[in-house]
Structure 1
Amino acid sequence: MEDGKRDLVVVVGGSGYLGLHLLAELAKCQAHKYRVAYTYHSQPPSPQLQQHLPNVKSFQVDLVTGHGLDSISSALGFPHVVVNCAALSNPRACEQNPNAAMAINVPRTVVEWLTSMNAPTLPLLIHLSTDQVYEGIKSFYTEDDETKPVNVYGRSKVVAEIYVKSNYANYAILRSSIIYGPQPFIPLPKTLPLQWIDGVLSGGGEGEFFCDEFRCPIYVKDVVNVIELLIAKSIATEGSHMHLVLNLGGPDKVSRADMADVVAEVQGYNKEFVKRVSALSVNRGVASPSDISMDIRNLVAEVGINLTSFVTGVALTLHSTPSSLE
């Protein structure tokens, strides 16, 4: 297939954790399926990234002003799918700077760019939201439950969802829980959830873990698979519009202490080192919902995916090397 005829997928925020995993997978398909591009904000692509992704185009974009978005369509034409992974996702940082949280997390400039280009077919916007849109006072929230976040991060994501649904006609909003897994093909300096727990327990000392906050963590490769399936479905049904809001969680409801227990089991550590404490015993400078476990039946029905159990995901994460493009 000629290069210009292949569908263009743009990953906004492609230099982050999920973005790098997604780019690595899309790059495997690009020779026969897609053209792939991504955006970054301040850090230019490293030589290592350019070496691994020689045919993936990068564009510097300021999501607050929208500067740089037009350069993508000018250089590559109309995108068929845009995946928005960009966010200010640290709840405490959002609490300290609510204006920045709203400016970055509500994708106004992305939606304005997509609607202004007059593409023959309206591109699909896959927008990553969060489980923190829920209040956290019950188990297994469904997509129809009221969104009532307890912190600025969650509120910014609710505003983002409302904005997308009110101003765009072809979208899939994915309310993601904690995303865990191995480092991407270019390891990031940030501390990843399971790797942090492993580091605490591997030293042979006690670690304190919350026992009364519950989530449905999801394995990163499941997230990538869901996005790929939505991309394929959109391209196969060109001209049709999606109006999806889906809970994007794993199959298991766990607390941080439960997560630590599984890490200890998989790694052969003494579970007595897992000290269970209440989340109320620590002031984190931001309110945190207690139980935002999610009902994921709509996700499974929509994409037909077999989600990775938490114990399997832990083993795959801690017994693997960083993901590669091989």
Structure 2
Amino acid sequence: MGEERKRVLVVGGTGYLGQHLLEGLAGANGESRCDLAFTHHRPIPPQELIDAVSPVLPFRVDLITGDGFDAITAKFGQPHTVVNCAALSVPRVCETDPVAAMATNLPSSLVNWLSSFSNQKTLLIHLSTDQVYDGTKSFYKEEDATNPVNMYGSSKVAAEQFIMAKYPNYTILRSSIIYGPQTISPVAKSLPIQWIDSVLSPGQEVEFFHDEFRCPVYVKDMVNVILTLIKKWISEGKQMQLLLNVGGRDRVSRVQMAETVATIRGYDHLLIKSVSASLVSKPQMTSAACLELPYERCTVPGY
């Protein structure tokens, strides 16, 4: 008899990181010999994604109620690895509806489903955020205290604490802002680099924050981190309880990000107007720097 094929489930597989991860898993399939599945919340999963990463099984799941997980058990079986990319991640939306943010971002139904398997050997890789920190210093370490300044960060802290208390085999990745190319099935959420390009391309002045910093991480690097963890788990089978900061090597402001895009795309740097993030609280502040979704103030100065 041949070796059992490993099963990997990507929760939130139609999102930005989820789609890139499915691509990465499909590309490594010959080496890892994994069966793939993903969850989605929309009525019908995007056919172009299914075609690109086939063979793959899509499952419609309600992460708040848990409806749909039984179908995964019946058709796919217990996964060897689950990667939870699903989240309500736009800070403005989280502030507007904190109940929905907490219900969506706290993976209680997912953890309860994994706990229903008698061996509880599935590795759960959970995506968190650098917005769990308060931004009062730079170069955060994993052991630093969390003190989120927005609802998105608070919901992610709650999720981390829930997983660590309720499930024995996990890795939590606190990611900084993720950038990279558009997905196979385009996501509606505005992407940072694409957004900067779109607001600079008309040739009009745009304001960007000079005193808010992140450590942007390339999406393919993020995928490689996850693939490495999956391979380690599959090859060694040793229980994990890891909490990792995952960011790029450069700590940059919004202005610096915009300047990089301008240089590559050939835009005039004079279009980039430097402003303080403290202005975001003022009603008269109407610059694109604070209105566009990726540029909600999070005050996180990177790791």
TM-score (norm 1): 0.85
Preserved CA contact (<8 Å) 2:129 2:176: yes
Find the counterpart in structure 1 of residue 227 from structure 2: 228
| Gap regions ≥5 residues in structure 2 | 282-289
Q: CA RMSD in A?
A: 1.8
| Gap regions ≥5 residues in structure 1 | 295-326
Instruction: Compute the displacement of 1:279 (Å).
Output: 1.2
Preserved CA contact (<8 Å) 1:133 1:147: yes
Preserved CA contact (<8 Å) 1:131 1:292: no
Distance (Å, rounded) in 1 between the aligned partners of 2:98 and 2:189: 22
Distance (Å, rounded) in 1 between the aligned partners of 2:300 and 2:98: 23
Find the counterpart in structure 1 of residue 266 from structure 2: 268
Q: Deviations over 1:167-219 (max 9, x none)?
A: 11110000011100001222223321101111122222211111110100100
Preserved CA contact (<8 Å) 2:124 2:170: yes
Find the counterpart in structure 2 of residue 39 from structure 1: 39
Establish whether residue 190 from structure 1 lines up as the match of residue 221 from structure 2: no
Establish whether residue 19 from structure 1 lines up as the match of residue 28 from structure 2: no
Find the counterpart in structure 1 of residue 285 from structure 2: none
Find the counterpart in structure 2 of residue 147 from structure 1: 146
Distance (Å, rounded) in 2 between the aligned partners of 1:289 and 1:179: 14
Q: What amino acid is the match of 2:147?
A: K
Q: What amino acid is the match of 2:53?
A: L
Preserved CA contact (<8 Å) 1:178 1:215: yes
Secondary structure in 2 aligned to 1:5?
Answer: coil
Distance 1:117 1:40, change over 3 A: same
Find the counterpart in structure 1 of residue 249 from structure 2: 251
Preserved CA contact (<8 Å) 1:132 1:292: no
Distance (Å, rounded) in 2 between the aligned partners of 1:185 and 1:46: 9
Aligned residue runs from structure 1 range 200-219, under 5 A:
200-219=199-218
Identity of aligned residues (%): 53
Distance (Å, rounded) in 2 between the aligned partners of 1:142 and 1:220: 21
Distance (Å, rounded) in 1 between the aligned partners of 2:265 and 2:153: 34
Which is worse superposed, 221-230 or 282-291?
282-291
Find the counterpart in structure 2 of residue 110 from structure 1: 110
Q: Deviations over 1:104-129 (max 9, x none)?
A: 1011111111111214x611100000
Which is worse superposed, 189-198 or 255-264?
189-198
Distance (Å, rounded) in 1 between the aligned partners of 2:146 and 2:274: 29
Find the counterpart in structure 2 of residue 74 from structure 1: 74
Find the counterpart in structure 2 of residue 128 from structure 1: 127
Distance 1:189 1:155, change over 3 A: closer
Distance (Å, rounded) in 2 between the aligned partners of 1:99 and 1:196: 28
Distance 1:87 1:274, change over 3 A: same
TM-score (norm 2): 0.92
Distance (Å, rounded) in 1 between the aligned partners of 2:297 and 2:189: 21
